[in-house]
Amino acid sequence: YRFILAAQLAEPSKQVRKIPRSIHDISNGDHILGFGAELAEDHPGYHDEEYKKRRSYIGDLAKLHKIGEPIPCLEYTDEEIKIWGDILEKLTQLYPTHACKRYLDTFQLFNFVPDRLPQLQELSEVLMMRTGWQIRPVAGLLHPTDFLNALAFRTFHSTQYIRHGSNPMYTPEPDVCHEILGHIPLLADPEFANVAQVIGMASLGASKEEIWHLTKLYWYTVEFGTVKERDGVKAFGAGLLSSFGELEHMLSGEDGYMPIFEDLDPFKKLPKMNYKDGFQKKYFLCESFSDVASKLTAYARSLQRF
């Protein structure tokens, strides 16, 4: 996957992108990276024609979606609901000991149950009421510029297909379980929701280098961030909170090596992101939730866009 991403991130031409003035100026279909229609050979769903068909169908629906219209309801199959239910059950066993307090608080707002895979539309309505955020469906991993820019308009791009059933404990790419269990709860937290918007605002009109740095900051916090709490290290990153394999690994080093924890300095050069090689080897650790918020805000403000 990493190869595909690297190739696609090397911008095809030096075209200058217009700075979006509203969410309507951002396309959810023009710049989909990797994972999209074509699955790489090492993807668990590569040999599964049914799976590929289902994903394209769901992805095509996302491309047709217009801002302001309700997100289409998907009728999930029993197989898909079972994957969701298994993941939810495993994760809810780990959350009390592995998830940060803020997440535990917002998670319970949603009353997720194993036998029903929630619809993005109803989750978007909850977010709209609580923090003014909306969800927009997307076919796959969006180019970082579009993805980050949309955060400025309190819009979160979310996939709607589910991961392949052969490896429910971990997937390298976003899927609907990652979005719903990883991202949506914390977007209902007013402080977190504001910080996410601030990252987005900093990305409007940002140079390629600035976008890269913001993407890494996003990656090491919103996706894989950890925070100190009285009884130990807890996860607030969505990539951890949606993967019971990685969530366990974060604390136990299950698969043979203990991860390293490092303090986050948003002004320092951050390590290369690891999309492909499984669990992260290093996590960035923050003192508290408000420490994360003030660090990200300080960096975003330093770009002087707002």
Residues in contact with ligand NLE by CB under 6 A are 170-171, 173-174, 178, 223, 239, 242-243, 246
User: Residue 238 or residue 240: which is nearer to Fe ion going by CB?
Assistant: 238
User: Residue 177 or residue 202: which is nearer to ligand NLE going by CB?
Assistant: 177
User: Residue 91 or residue 300: which is nearer to ligand NLE going by CB?
Assistant: 91
Buried b (16+ CB within 10 A) or exposed e, 265-294: ebeeebeebebeeebbeebbbbeebeebbe
Please say whether the beta carbons of 89 and 222 come within 8 A. no
Q: How many helices and strands (H and E) does the chain possess? A: 13, 8
- To the query of whether residue 223 is one of the catalytic residues in this protein, the response is yes
Q: Is 67 left (phi over 0), alpha (psi -120 to 50) or beta?
A: beta
User: Binds 170, which of Fe ion, ligand NLE, none (CB < 5 to 8 A, cut-off by type)?
Assistant: ligand NLE
Rounded Cα–Cα distance for residues 220 and 281 (Å): 12
Show contacts with Fe ion in window 169-228 (CB under 5 A). 174
- Least distance in Å: CB of 243 to ligand NLE? 3
- Least distance in Å: CB of 206 to Fe ion? 19
Structure tokens at 217: 């900051």
- Least distance in Å: CB of 239 to Fe ion? 6
- To the query of whether residue 242 is one of the catalytic residues in this protein, the response is yes
- Least distance in Å: CB of 174 to ligand NLE? 5
User: Residue 80 or residue 173: which is nearer to ligand NLE going by CB?
Assistant: 173
User: Residue 170 or residue 212: which is nearer to ligand NLE going by CB?
Assistant: 170
- Least distance in Å: CB of 111 to Fe ion? 22
Structure tokens at 73: 């309801």
Of positions 238, 286, 292, 300, contacts Fe ion by CB under 5 A: 238
Distances, alpha carbon 89 to alpha carbons 93, 113, 260, in Å = 7, 9, 28
The single residue of 80, 173, 179, 223 carrying the catalytic annotation is: 223
- To the query of whether residue 43 is one of the catalytic residues in this protein, the response is no
Q: For residue 61, count other CB atoms closer than 10 A to its CB.
A: 16
- To the query of whether residue 98 is one of the catalytic residues in this protein, the response is no
Cβ neighbours of residue 202 under 8 Å, at least 6 residues apart? 210, 214, 299, 300, 301, 303, 305, 306
Please say whether the beta carbons of 8 and 205 come within 8 A. no
Which residues are catalytic, by number?
178, 183, 223, 242
What residue ranges bind Fe ion (CB under 5 A)?
174, 238
